[in-house]
A and B are shown apart, each in its own frame.
Chain A
C-alpha cells in the first residue's frame, strides 16, 4: 500500500523529465533513425535508400574516418587528463588553509565562463607570435609551436584549452571528499599511514563513484565536441589539414552545408552506438574499481 504510493510519487517527481522526453526528444530521435535510411534533404526529398548511407560512410568516405580518428584522439587524451587534474585540484582545495574560499572561487571561475567568448580569448592567447602563451614560453627561450595553425598541434591545443575548465567537476569531488568521515583518516594515522597512502587507500576509493560519474559524462560530452572546432579552426571546417575535423563538425557540414541530412542522421546513430558501447564498457569495468558505501 505504502510502497505503491511511494512509487506513484516517484513517477510524479520525474514526470517533467519523462513528459519532456516523450514529447520533445523521442519523436525527433525516432525520426532521425528512420531518416538515416533515406536520402532526406530537409525540404524536398526523403526516399528510402536502405543501408546506403551506412555503407557509404564505412566504405567510401575518408573524411568519416578522419573525423572519427580526431574525435577518438581528443577523447582519449582529454578525458583522463581533465579527470586527473580535477582530482588534483580538489585535493588541494580540500586543505584547511585560510583564504581557501578565494582559491576555490578562482579555480571554479572558468567553469562559469564558457562558449564562444572563451574560445576567442584562447585564440588570442594561443596566437603564435602575439599570444601570451608563446610570449611566456619565450621568456624561457622556448620557441613555442604554432598551436592552432599547425596540424600536429591543433588537437593538443584544444585538449590543453579544455584543461582550463577542469575546475567545473572539482565541485563534485570536493563535496565527496568533505563527506568522507574523519575517523577513517584518524584510524589510518594511528596505524602510521603516510599522506600519500591515505590518498590512495581512503580518498580515492571513497570518491570513486564520483570519478566514475565524471568519466562517463565527460566521455559522452567529449565525443560531442563541436563548438570549439567550429569556432577555432581557421576555415570553420576543420583546418589545418582536417586536424580539427571532429565527428560532429563533419556531421554538421554534411547536414547544413551539403544538405545531406539523411547521411548526417546515419552519422549521428553511429556516434550514438559508439558512445553507448563505451558507456556499457565503463559500467562493466566499474565493478572492479568503484566502491559504494554500504557495499
Chain B
C-alpha cells in the first residue's frame, strides 16, 4: 500500500514538473509579446542587433549610436544584445539554423565570402547605392562582396605599422625623424640600437617577429597574399624565401631563448618591453597606440609604414576588421539594412572613431577623425599614419577555394621559424600542400 502511494506521489511530481515547464514557457512568451506589442510594436519594427562590444569602453559608444538611430526616425526600434566574443558567431549560426536569427550582427570581415557561399547572409545588393559603396576603403568593400553581390557593409578595420622609440634613436645617434624604410635599413638601425651584455641582449633593436607574425612579413615581401583568390599559391617564391631567411638571420643574432622570453613578456602583459625600452622598434597593430597612451604617457615614440623588402617593393601591410550584416532568414532585411546604413554613415563612424580611437571603414570619417580635437597630438599623428597606411594595407579574406589554408600553412611556417625545418624544404612542402588543398576543393 505504501508503495502505491509512493508511486502515485512520484508520478504526480513528474507530471507536475512537466506541466510546470509548459505553462511557464507559454506564460513567458505571452508576457514578452504583450509588453512590447501593446505600446510600440504595433507601429514600430523591432530589430535585434548583436554585437560583442560589452566593454566599459565600447558599449556606451555603440549604445549611443543606437539611441541616435532610434531617435532619428519612428519606424524602426533597434535593441542591442551584447553577446560575448567567444559565443557570438556560433550562437548566430545556431540561430540562423533555427530560423530565428538576429536582424543585424557585427561579424568578421575575413569570412564574409565564406559565409556568403554557405548561405548564412542575406545579400543587400538591391538596397546599396554608389554613395554607400563609395564610403569605404576599396579593399574592405571587396572583402564584403562575393560573386558580385554585396553581403555586408564594413564597420571598422586596423593596420600594422612600425613603432619606434625616438629617445633611443637619439641616444644611438640616429635621426628620430628618419625611421628605417627598407629591411636593410631596419637591420642597420637595429645594430646601432642593440645593447649587448655578454651573450645576451639588454635591448633588442629590432626583431621581425616581435609584434608581427610571419604572415605579415610574407604579405609585406610579396605585396599580395600567398594564396590568391583564384587558388594560385605563391609560397615557394623568391620574396618568401627572402623573408624567412631574413627572419632567421635576425633570430640567430638574438638567440631563440631571448626572443621567446621577450615575446612572452608581451603576451602576459605584466611588463611591456617596448614601453620599458627593452625593444627599440617593432611592427604592431596600430591600435597598440591606445596602450601607449594609457600606460606609457611619457614614452617618446614615432610611427611609420612597415619598411619594404627592397626599394620599390612597397610597404605592404595587413589589416582585418568587422562588418555589419543581415543573417539569413532575418525577418525584415530592408529595415535591417536601413540600420546598417546608419551605422556606417559619416556621423556614426566619426563618433565611433573619436570615442574609441579605432580606425573606421568610412574613409572621410577617418580623415576627419585624424584632425579630431578629442585626440592628443600624438593621437592625431598615429591616426594620420593609420589612414595613410590604408593605401598599403591588404585584407586577406579567407578564399572560398580553401578557407582553411592558414591551418595548413601556419604549422609549417612555425616549424621553419623554430628551426625544425629548413627554409628550402619547408616552403616547398607548404607550396605543394597548399596546391593539393586547392586541388581537392575544386
A-B CB proximity, top 7 nearest: A44-B119, A129-B261, A242-B411, A241-B414, A241-B411, A43-B96, A241-B415
7 A-B pairs, CB-CB below 8 angstroms?
A42-B93, A63-B407, A127-B264, A237-B410, A241-B411, A253-B407, A259-B120
Given contacts A128-B260, A239-B410, A253-B407, contact A44 B268 (CB under 8 A): no
Give bound CA distance, A238 to B410, whole Å: 10
CB distance from A69 to the nearest CB of B (A): 13
Tell me if A235 and B410 are in contact (CB < 8 A).
yes
Give bound CA distance, A149 to B270, whole Å: 18
Instruction: Name the A residues within 8 Å of B7 (CB-CB).
Output: 8-9, 12
Given contacts A60-B440, A241-B420, contact A44 B410 (CB under 8 A): no
Further contacts, 10 of them, CB under 8 A, given A9-B7, A42-B96, A43-B96: A44-B120, A127-B267, A129-B261, A130-B271, A149-B263, A237-B407, A239-B410, A242-B411, A258-B403, A259-B115
Cβ contacts B86-109/A at 8 Å (1 or 0 each): 000110011011000000000000
Tell me if A151 and B118 are in contact (CB < 8 A).
no
> A101 an interface residue at 8 Å Cβ cutoff?
no
Interface size on B, residues (CB 8 A): 38
Q: Which of B14, B114, B119, B260 contacts A45 (CB 8 A)?
A: B119
Instruction: Name the A residues within 8 Å of B265 (CB-CB).
Output: 129-130
Tell me if B118 and A41 are in contact (CB < 8 A).
yes
The residue of chain B having its C-beta at the shortest distance from the C-beta of A12 within the complex is: B10
> B404 an interface residue at 8 Å Cβ cutoff?
yes
Give bound CA distance, A222 to B301, whole Å: 49
Instruction: Name the B residues within 8 Å of A129 (CB-CB).
Output: 260-261, 264-265
Instruction: Name the A residues within 8 Å of B328 (CB-CB).
Output: 43-44
Instruction: Name the B residues within 8 Å of A146 (CB-CB).
Output: 257, 260
> B332 an interface residue at 8 Å Cβ cutoff?
no
> A124 an interface residue at 8 Å Cβ cutoff?
yes
Instruction: Name the B residues within 8 Å of A45 (CB-CB).
Output: 118-119
> A199 an interface residue at 8 Å Cβ cutoff?
no
Give bound CA distance, A259 to B408, whole Å: 17
Tell me if A42 and B415 are in contact (CB < 8 A).
no
Sort chain A's interface into a size bin: 35 or more
Instruction: Name the A residues within 8 Å of B433 (CB-CB).
Output: 62
Cβ contacts A18-46/B at 8 Å (1 or 0 each): 00000000000000000000000111110
Give bound CA distance, A129 to B403, whole Å: 36
> B125 an interface residue at 8 Å Cβ cutoff?
no
Instruction: Name the A residues within 8 Å of B263 (CB-CB).
Output: 149
> A3 an interface residue at 8 Å Cβ cutoff?
no
> A5 an interface residue at 8 Å Cβ cutoff?
yes
Tell me if A128 and B118 are in contact (CB < 8 A).
no
Tell me if A130 and B418 are in contact (CB < 8 A).
no
Instruction: Name the B residues within 8 Å of A43 (CB-CB).
Output: 93, 96-97, 118-120, 328
The residue of chain A having its C-beta at the shortest distance from the C-beta of B115 within the complex is: A259
CB contacts under 8 Å to B, within A226-245, are: 234-235, 237-242
CB distance from A72 to the nearest CB of B (A): 18
Number of cross-chain contacts by CB at 8 Å = 91
Give bound CA distance, A123 to B270, whole Å: 13
Instruction: Name the A residues within 8 Å of B403 (CB-CB).
Output: 257-258
Instruction: Name the B residues within 8 Å of A213 (CB-CB).
Output: none
Tell me if A151 and B264 are in contact (CB < 8 A).
no
Cβ contacts A137-176/B at 8 Å (1 or 0 each): 0000000001001110000000000000000000000000
Instruction: Name the B residues within 8 Å of A253 (CB-CB).
Output: 404, 407
> A256 an interface residue at 8 Å Cβ cutoff?
yes
The residue of chain B having its C-beta at the shortest distance from the C-beta of A256 within the complex is: B90
> B442 an interface residue at 8 Å Cβ cutoff?
no
Instruction: Name the A residues within 8 Å of B410 (CB-CB).
Output: 235, 237, 239
CB distance from A230 to the nearest CB of B (A): 10
Instruction: Name the A residues within 8 Å of B404 (CB-CB).
Output: 253, 257-258
Instruction: Name the B residues within 8 Å of A237 (CB-CB).
Output: 407, 410
Of the listed residues A62, A129, A256, the one surrounded by the most CB atoms of chain B closer than 10 A to its CB is: A129
Instruction: Name the B residues within 8 Å of A63 (CB-CB).
Output: 407-408
Instruction: Name the B residues within 8 Å of A242 (CB-CB).
Output: 411
Tell me if A259 and B114 are in contact (CB < 8 A).
yes
Instruction: Name the A residues within 8 Å of B268 (CB-CB).
Output: 123-124, 127, 130
Tell me if A5 and B260 are in contact (CB < 8 A).
no
Q: Which of B3, B89, B407 contacts A5 (CB 8 A)?
A: B3
Instruction: Name the A residues within 8 Å of B118 (CB-CB).
Output: 41-45, 259
Instruction: Name the A residues within 8 Å of B114 (CB-CB).
Output: 258-259
Instruction: Name the A residues within 8 Å of B420 (CB-CB).
Output: 151, 241
Instruction: Name the A residues within 8 Å of B264 (CB-CB).
Output: 127-130, 149
Instruction: Name the A residues within 8 Å of B261 (CB-CB).
Output: 128-129
Give bound CA distance, A235 to B411, whole Å: 11
Instruction: Name the B residues within 8 Å of A240 (CB-CB).
Output: 411, 414, 418
Instruction: Name the B residues within 8 Å of A258 (CB-CB).
Output: 114, 403-404
Cβ contacts B33-50/A at 8 Å (1 or 0 each): 000000000000000000
Instruction: Name the B residues within 8 Å of A150 (CB-CB).
Output: 418
Cβ contacts B249-267/A at 8 Å (1 or 0 each): 0000000010011011101
Instruction: Name the A residues within 8 Å of B90 (CB-CB).
Output: 256
CB distance from B41 to the nearest CB of A (A): 27
The residue of chain B having its C-beta at the shortest distance from the C-beta of A42 within the complex is: B97
CB distance from A263 to the nearest CB of B (A): 11
Cβ contacts B407-436/A at 8 Å (1 or 0 each): 110110011001010000000000001000
Instruction: Name the B residues within 8 Å of A9 (CB-CB).
Output: 3, 7
Give bound CA distance, A8 to B268, whole Å: 58
CB distance from B263 to the nearest CB of A (A): 8
CB distance from A174 to the nearest CB of B (A): 34
Give bound CA distance, A60 to B433, whole Å: 11
Tell me if B93 and A256 are in contact (CB < 8 A).
yes
CB distance from A243 to the nearest CB of B (A): 9
Q: Which of A124, A149, A151, A241 contacts B260 (CB 8 A)?
A: A149
Instruction: Name the B residues within 8 Å of A259 (CB-CB).
Output: 93, 114-115, 118, 120
Instruction: Name the A residues within 8 Å of B93 (CB-CB).
Output: 42-43, 256, 259
Give bound CA distance, A124 to B440, whole Å: 41
Give bound CA distance, A43 to B89, whole Å: 13
Instruction: Name the A residues within 8 Å of B115 (CB-CB).
Output: 259
